Amino acid sequence: MKTIFIVSVHGDEQAPLKVIKEHFKDRLKYLVAHPEAFKKNVRYLTTDLNRSFPGRVDGSKEERIVVKLMKKLNNYERVIDLHTATCDTLPFAILTKVTKDHLKLVSLLGLRRVVCMEKNIASGKALIDHIPIAISVECGNERSPATPSNIKKMIDDYLNNKSISLKRIEYYTVFEFLTKKTEKERLVKKIQPFKLVKKGEIVSRNNNELHTAKFNFYPILPREKNYKDILCLMAKKVCLKEFKEISSSRETLL
C-alpha cells in the first residue's frame, strides 16, 4: 500500500525529519507539513495546523496549508504523522478512529501502546480525523537522546514489514483531561506516563496544597508544555475487544 510519512505538522518537532534525512531519504515518501514553522522552529504561525483540518481556502495561514496538504495526501493509502513531545514519554500511537487498517499500521510500526481519543476529547480538526487511514505517532521527547533511535527502529520495522501481534499491544482510551486549578499547580514526581494512578493517591501540588486522584487512571503526556492548563490526559486501559467496541460505536457517531 502506498504510504507517506508526515513530519513537522508542528514546526518545532524536528527529530523525525532529521532521522528520515539521515537514514531513509531514498527509501520512503515523506512530507514536511509546515516548512515555514519548521524553519522558524515554532509550533505554528497563526493557528495550530493539527487543529486546522479540513482547511479553508480563505482561512488562516495554517488552514490554507491544510487545503494543499489534503490534495497531496489523497494520493496515498496510508498516512503516518510523526510528532514529538516536550515531556518524557514512551512512544505510542494516537487514533481517533479504529479499524483493522488502523490497527495493522500500529502493529507494522511495532508500537506497544495505542491511545484512542474518545469523542468528547478529540477536537475533530486533526489530520487523522480527515484522512481515511492515518495515525499519529508520539515518538518521545524532542530533546531525549533515545528519541532518534526509537524513530529509526520504528521506520525500519515498517519498511521491513515486521509486524507485532495485536496481543502484545496495550490499549488505552483517553476519557478526560486533568486540568490545573491554579497556574502554579504541578504534578508530583511519581506521576509518570502509562503508570497507573489509584483513586486517593496524591497527583499534584500547589505550594502546600495537595490534590488527590478522584478515580484510577493512566497519565498520558504528563507535563507536556503545549497543553496549557492541562497537567496530563487521563486514560483507562482496556482489552483489544473493548477497544474495538468503543471505536466501532464511535465510528457510527462520526
Q: Using CB under 5 A as the criterion, which residues of the chain lie in contact with Zn ion when the complex forms? A: 10, 13, 83
- Non-local (6+) Cβ contacts of 207 within 8 A are 184
Q: Which is nearer to Zn ion, 10 or 113 (CB)?
A: 10
Residues 116 and 122: their CA atoms lie apart, in Å, by 9
Q: Which is nearer to Zn ion, 177 or 238 (CB)?
A: 177
Residues 182 and 230: their CA atoms lie apart, in Å, by 10
Q: Which is nearer to Zn ion, 8 or 173 (CB)?
A: 8
Residue 30 CA, distance from chain mean position: 18
Q: Which is nearer to Zn ion, 83 or 236 (CB)?
A: 83
CB of 85 to Zn ion, least distance (A): 8
Q: Which is nearer to Zn ion, 78 or 83 (CB)?
A: 83
CB of 136 to Zn ion, least distance (A): 8
Q: Which is nearer to Zn ion, 41 or 160 (CB)?
A: 41
CB of 120 to Zn ion, least distance (A): 21
CB of 83 to Zn ion, least distance (A): 3
Residues 187 and 168: their CA atoms lie apart, in Å, by 30
Cell readout for 216 is 484510577
CB of 43 to Zn ion, least distance (A): 8
CB of 49 to Zn ion, least distance (A): 9
Residues 219 and 225: their CA atoms lie apart, in Å, by 15
Cell readout for 76 is 496515498
Helices (H), the chain: 15-19, 35-40, 61-73, 100-108, 146-159, 240-253
Question: Whose CB is nearest to Zn ion?
Answer: 83
Tell me the helices (H) and strands (E) count for the chain, helix number first.
6, 12
